[in-house]
Protein backbone atom coordinates (compact mmCIF):
# COMPACT_ATOMS: atom_id res chain seq x y z
CA UNK A 1 0.00 0.00 0.00
CA UNK A 2 1.36 3.44 -1.00
CA UNK A 3 0.86 6.33 1.40
CA UNK A 4 0.43 8.89 -1.36
CA UNK A 5 -2.12 11.65 -2.04
CA UNK A 6 -4.78 9.05 -2.90
CA UNK A 7 -4.35 7.42 0.49
CA UNK A 8 -4.83 10.70 2.37
CA UNK A 9 -7.79 11.61 0.16
CA UNK A 10 -9.48 8.30 0.97
CA UNK A 11 -8.65 8.76 4.66
CA UNK A 12 -10.11 12.29 4.67
CA UNK A 13 -13.30 11.09 2.98
CA UNK A 14 -13.65 8.24 5.47
CA UNK A 15 -13.03 10.37 8.57
CA UNK A 16 -15.29 13.27 7.57
CA UNK A 17 -18.02 10.85 6.53
CA UNK A 18 -17.83 8.94 9.82
CA UNK A 19 -17.91 12.13 11.91
CA UNK A 20 -20.82 13.67 10.01
CA UNK A 21 -22.79 10.44 9.63
CA UNK A 22 -22.10 9.34 13.19
CA UNK A 23 -23.36 12.63 14.61
CA UNK A 24 -26.52 12.42 12.48
CA UNK A 25 -27.23 8.90 13.76
CA UNK A 26 -26.61 10.01 17.34
CA UNK A 27 -29.16 12.83 17.06
CA UNK A 28 -31.69 10.45 15.54
CA UNK A 29 -31.14 7.97 18.37
CA UNK A 30 -31.68 10.52 21.11
CA UNK A 31 -34.68 12.00 19.31
CA UNK A 32 -33.21 15.37 18.37
CA UNK A 33 -33.74 17.01 14.96
CA UNK A 34 -30.87 17.43 12.50
CA UNK A 35 -29.30 19.88 12.19
CA UNK A 36 -29.34 21.21 15.75
CA UNK A 37 -29.03 24.90 16.51
CA UNK A 38 -25.54 24.47 17.94
CA UNK A 39 -23.49 22.00 15.99
CA UNK A 40 -20.03 20.97 17.28
CA UNK A 41 -17.20 22.61 15.34
CA UNK A 42 -15.72 19.24 14.33
CA UNK A 43 -19.07 18.11 12.90
CA UNK A 44 -19.54 21.42 11.10
CA UNK A 45 -16.13 21.04 9.39
CA UNK A 46 -16.84 17.40 8.55
CA UNK A 47 -20.22 18.29 7.01
CA UNK A 48 -18.61 21.04 4.91
CA UNK A 49 -15.61 19.06 3.68
CA UNK A 50 -17.11 15.60 3.13
CA UNK A 51 -18.94 16.35 -0.17
CA UNK A 52 -15.88 18.19 -1.52
CA UNK A 53 -13.32 15.50 -0.77
CA UNK A 54 -15.74 12.78 -1.94
CA UNK A 55 -16.20 14.46 -5.35
CA UNK A 56 -12.45 15.02 -5.71
CA UNK A 57 -11.80 11.39 -4.77
CA UNK A 58 -14.29 10.06 -7.33
CA UNK A 59 -13.06 12.31 -10.14
CA UNK A 60 -9.39 11.69 -9.45
CA UNK A 61 -9.71 7.95 -8.91
CA UNK A 62 -12.07 6.96 -11.71
CA UNK A 63 -12.11 9.72 -14.35
CA UNK A 64 -9.22 12.17 -14.72
CA UNK A 65 -6.09 12.99 -12.77
CA UNK A 66 -3.73 15.95 -13.31
CA UNK A 67 0.04 15.53 -13.48
CA UNK A 68 2.97 17.89 -13.99
CA UNK A 69 5.90 16.97 -16.25
CA UNK A 70 9.12 17.32 -14.21
CA UNK A 71 11.72 16.21 -16.79
CA UNK A 72 12.53 16.34 -20.49
CA UNK A 73 12.32 12.61 -21.20
CA UNK A 74 9.24 13.04 -23.41
CA UNK A 75 10.48 16.04 -25.41
CA UNK A 76 9.46 17.34 -27.87
CA UNK A 77 5.95 15.94 -27.24
CA UNK A 78 5.90 17.04 -23.60
CA UNK A 79 8.02 19.84 -22.17
CA UNK A 80 9.20 20.49 -18.64
CA UNK A 81 6.41 22.42 -16.95
CA UNK A 82 3.52 20.94 -18.93
CA UNK A 83 0.44 20.17 -16.84
CA UNK A 84 -1.48 17.25 -18.32
CA UNK A 85 -4.70 15.34 -17.78
CA UNK A 86 -4.65 11.55 -17.60
CA UNK A 87 -7.65 9.39 -18.46
CA UNK A 88 -8.04 6.95 -15.55
CA UNK A 89 -10.68 4.63 -17.06
CA UNK A 90 -9.16 3.82 -20.49
CA UNK A 91 -7.36 0.78 -19.13
CA UNK A 92 -9.94 -0.32 -16.58
CA UNK A 93 -11.33 1.05 -13.32
CA UNK A 94 -9.13 0.49 -10.25
CA UNK A 95 -9.75 0.99 -6.56
CA UNK A 96 -7.78 3.94 -5.15
CA UNK A 97 -4.79 3.12 -2.91
CA UNK A 98 -5.14 -0.65 -3.48
CA UNK A 99 -4.83 -0.20 -7.28
CA UNK A 100 -6.93 -3.34 -7.78
CA UNK A 101 -8.77 -3.44 -11.11
CA UNK A 102 -12.49 -3.96 -10.63
CA UNK A 103 -13.79 -3.26 -14.16
CA UNK A 104 -12.12 -4.31 -17.43
CA UNK A 105 -12.51 -1.65 -20.14
CA UNK A 106 -9.53 -1.58 -22.50
CA UNK A 107 -5.81 -2.13 -22.93
CA UNK A 108 -2.93 0.14 -23.94
CA UNK A 109 -2.29 0.52 -27.65
CA UNK A 110 1.08 0.93 -29.29
CA UNK A 111 1.86 4.63 -29.35
CA UNK A 112 -0.20 5.60 -26.29
CA UNK A 113 1.40 8.04 -23.85
CA UNK A 114 0.99 6.39 -20.46
CA UNK A 115 1.51 7.34 -16.83
CA UNK A 116 2.54 4.37 -14.70
CA UNK A 117 4.06 3.57 -11.35
CA UNK A 118 7.82 3.05 -11.76
CA UNK A 119 8.40 -0.69 -11.16
CA UNK A 120 11.56 -0.15 -9.07
CA UNK A 121 9.94 2.57 -6.94
CA UNK A 122 6.12 2.27 -7.14
CA UNK A 123 5.46 5.49 -5.24
CA UNK A 124 7.01 7.43 -8.14
CA UNK A 125 4.99 8.12 -11.31
CA UNK A 126 6.66 7.92 -14.72
CA UNK A 127 5.35 8.91 -18.15
CA UNK A 128 6.52 7.25 -21.38
CA UNK A 129 5.17 6.03 -24.72
CA UNK A 130 4.03 2.43 -25.22
CA UNK A 131 6.40 0.82 -27.74
CA UNK A 132 5.99 -2.90 -27.05
CA UNK A 133 2.86 -4.89 -26.24
CA UNK A 134 2.85 -8.31 -24.54
CA UNK A 135 4.67 -10.82 -26.75
CA UNK A 136 6.36 -8.19 -28.96
CA UNK A 137 10.00 -8.38 -29.95
CA UNK A 138 11.54 -4.91 -29.70
CA UNK A 139 14.99 -4.11 -31.08
CA UNK A 140 16.94 -0.84 -30.79
CA UNK A 141 20.13 -0.49 -32.82
CA UNK A 142 21.97 2.57 -34.18
CA UNK A 143 19.20 4.77 -32.70
CA UNK A 144 16.58 3.02 -34.82
CA UNK A 145 13.57 1.15 -33.52
CA UNK A 146 12.33 -2.23 -34.77
CA UNK A 147 9.04 -3.88 -33.76
CA UNK A 148 8.69 -7.58 -34.50
CA UNK A 149 11.43 -7.32 -37.11
CA UNK A 150 9.93 -4.32 -38.92
CA UNK A 151 11.87 -1.03 -38.87
CA UNK A 152 9.76 1.91 -37.68
CA UNK A 153 9.63 4.67 -40.28
CA UNK A 154 11.44 7.88 -39.33
CA UNK A 155 11.60 11.14 -41.31
CA UNK A 156 14.05 13.89 -40.37
CA UNK A 157 12.51 17.27 -39.51
CA UNK A 158 15.83 19.05 -39.01
CA UNK A 159 17.51 20.36 -35.87
CA UNK A 160 15.52 21.02 -32.72
CA UNK A 161 15.43 24.43 -31.04
CA UNK A 162 14.77 24.01 -27.34
CA UNK A 163 13.27 26.63 -25.03
CA UNK A 164 13.26 27.26 -21.29
CA UNK A 165 14.35 24.26 -19.23
CA UNK A 166 14.60 22.25 -22.45
CA UNK A 167 17.11 24.55 -24.11
CA UNK A 168 19.88 22.00 -23.51
CA UNK A 169 18.36 19.84 -26.27
CA UNK A 170 18.95 22.51 -28.91
CA UNK A 171 20.79 20.94 -31.84
CA UNK A 172 19.33 17.46 -31.42
CA UNK A 173 17.85 15.90 -34.53
CA UNK A 174 14.07 15.98 -34.63
CA UNK A 175 12.42 13.04 -36.36
CA UNK A 176 8.83 12.18 -37.16
CA UNK A 177 8.14 8.58 -36.20
CA UNK A 178 5.17 6.53 -37.37
CA UNK A 179 4.34 3.96 -34.71
CA UNK A 180 1.40 1.82 -35.85
CA UNK A 181 -0.25 4.89 -37.36
CA UNK A 182 0.55 7.15 -34.40
CA UNK A 183 2.72 9.93 -35.82
CA UNK A 184 4.80 11.84 -33.29
CA UNK A 185 8.13 13.62 -32.99
CA UNK A 186 11.19 12.23 -31.26
CA UNK A 187 14.63 13.65 -30.49
CA UNK A 188 17.96 11.94 -31.11
CA UNK A 189 21.21 13.44 -29.84
CA UNK A 190 24.09 12.96 -32.31
CA UNK A 191 27.07 11.24 -30.73
CA UNK A 192 25.22 10.20 -27.56
CA UNK A 193 25.58 6.57 -26.55
CA UNK A 194 22.51 4.41 -25.93
CA UNK A 195 21.52 0.85 -25.13
CA UNK A 196 21.46 -1.46 -28.16
CA UNK A 197 19.65 -4.73 -27.59
CA UNK A 198 16.68 -6.95 -28.35
CA UNK A 199 13.82 -7.15 -25.85
CA UNK A 200 10.99 -9.71 -25.75
CA UNK A 201 8.01 -8.35 -23.83
CA UNK A 202 6.60 -10.92 -21.37
CA UNK A 203 2.85 -11.54 -20.97
CA UNK A 204 1.04 -8.90 -18.93
CA UNK A 205 3.83 -6.34 -19.41
CA UNK A 206 4.65 -3.36 -21.64
CA UNK A 207 7.83 -1.88 -23.08
CA UNK A 208 8.03 1.90 -22.62
CA UNK A 209 10.33 4.51 -24.15
CA UNK A 210 10.59 8.27 -23.93
CA UNK A 211 10.37 10.42 -27.07
CA UNK A 212 13.65 12.05 -26.06
CA UNK A 213 15.48 8.84 -26.94
CA UNK A 214 18.93 9.71 -25.61
CA UNK A 215 17.66 11.34 -22.42
CA UNK A 216 15.07 8.91 -21.11
CA UNK A 217 15.28 6.43 -18.26
CA UNK A 218 12.96 3.79 -19.69
CA UNK A 219 12.44 0.07 -20.37
CA UNK A 220 15.78 -0.19 -22.16
CA UNK A 221 17.48 0.29 -18.81
CA UNK A 222 15.21 -1.20 -16.14
CA UNK A 223 12.84 -3.59 -17.90
CA UNK A 224 9.11 -3.92 -18.44
CA UNK A 225 6.04 -2.31 -16.86
CA UNK A 226 3.49 -4.73 -15.33
CA UNK A 227 -0.12 -4.14 -16.30
CA UNK A 228 -0.93 -3.61 -12.60
CA UNK A 229 1.33 -0.50 -12.57
CA UNK A 230 -0.62 1.38 -15.24
CA UNK A 231 -2.25 4.62 -14.07
CA UNK A 232 -3.82 5.97 -17.26
CA UNK A 233 -3.42 7.50 -20.71
CA UNK A 234 -2.21 11.10 -21.03
CA UNK A 235 -4.37 12.97 -23.53
CA UNK A 236 -4.40 16.73 -22.93
CA UNK A 237 -2.14 19.65 -21.92
CA UNK A 238 -4.14 22.15 -19.88
CA UNK A 239 -1.30 24.38 -18.67
CA UNK A 240 2.40 25.03 -19.15
CA UNK A 241 4.57 26.88 -16.67
CA UNK A 242 8.32 27.19 -17.19
CA UNK A 243 9.99 29.93 -15.19
CA UNK A 244 12.94 29.85 -17.62
CA UNK A 245 10.61 30.52 -20.55
CA UNK A 246 8.69 33.63 -19.46
CA UNK A 247 6.20 31.69 -17.35
CA UNK A 248 3.04 30.52 -19.12
CA UNK A 249 3.34 29.28 -22.71
CA UNK A 250 -0.18 29.99 -24.01
CA UNK A 251 0.61 28.22 -27.29
CA UNK A 252 0.66 24.84 -25.53
CA UNK A 253 -2.63 25.22 -23.67
CA UNK A 254 -5.31 22.91 -25.01
CA UNK A 255 -2.90 20.65 -26.90
CA UNK A 256 -4.29 17.17 -27.58
CA UNK A 257 -1.53 14.59 -27.21
CA UNK A 258 -0.59 12.14 -29.94
Catalytic residue set: 73, 128
| Whether 116 contacts 233, CB under 8 Å | no
Question: How many CA atoms, within 13 angstroms, populate the side-chain half-sphere of residue 169?
Answer: 27
Question: How many CA atoms, within 13 angstroms, populate the side-chain half-sphere of residue 65?
Answer: 19
Amino acid sequence: MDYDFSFFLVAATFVTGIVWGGYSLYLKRVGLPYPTEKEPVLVEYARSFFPVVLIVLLLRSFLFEPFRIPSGSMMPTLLVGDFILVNKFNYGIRLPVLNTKIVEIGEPKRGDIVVFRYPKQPEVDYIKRVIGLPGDRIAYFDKKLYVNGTPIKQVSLGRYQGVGQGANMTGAERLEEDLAGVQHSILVAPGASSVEDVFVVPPGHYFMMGDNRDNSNDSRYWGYVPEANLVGRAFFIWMNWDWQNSGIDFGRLGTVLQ
